[in-house]
Amino acid sequence: MLHTVNKSSFERNSLQSCVNIIDDSSVILLIEDGVISATNNTQSSIVSDLASQGRVYALQGDLEARGISSKVADNIKVVDYAGFVDLVVEHGTPVSWV
């Protein structure tokens, strides 16, 4: 299942709530302000563990809009909008965490 998180970890606990319930086949796509959690200095250990398994993505356009493209952790996969569509096709309708 694809889970999208659009809020910063500094604003809400949506990412933590998502991580707490996902199963082993789920992936997370960070969008909008959620991409802040993809940076080296804000990445939690739980997100880091999932990212090391190739299960965390960040939307390129939102990273660029916030000026943090160069600060993305190495283990986060960056995708463009076509990549977002590919994730939906592969994992089904996304569950949005707001």
CB 94 within 8 A of CB 6: no
Q: Which three-class secondary structure state does DSSP give residue 2? A: strand
Beta bridge partners of 2: 27
Copy the structure tokens of residue 13. Answer: 């606990």
What's the length of the chain?
A: 98
What would be the CATH architecture of the domain defined by 2-97?
3-Layer(aba) Sandwich (3.40)
Instruction: Write down the pTM of the prediction.
Output: 0.92
Number of helical H runs and strand E runs in the chain: 4, 5
pLDDT of residue 55: 94
**Ranges of each domain in the chain:** 2-97
Say which amino acid occupies 74.
D
Q: How would you write the pLDDT of the chain (98 residues) with one tens digit per residue?
A: 999 999 988 888 999 899 999 999 999 999 999 999 998 876 566 688 889 899 999 999 999 999 999 999 989 999 999 999 999 999 998 999 98
pLDDT of residue 33: 95
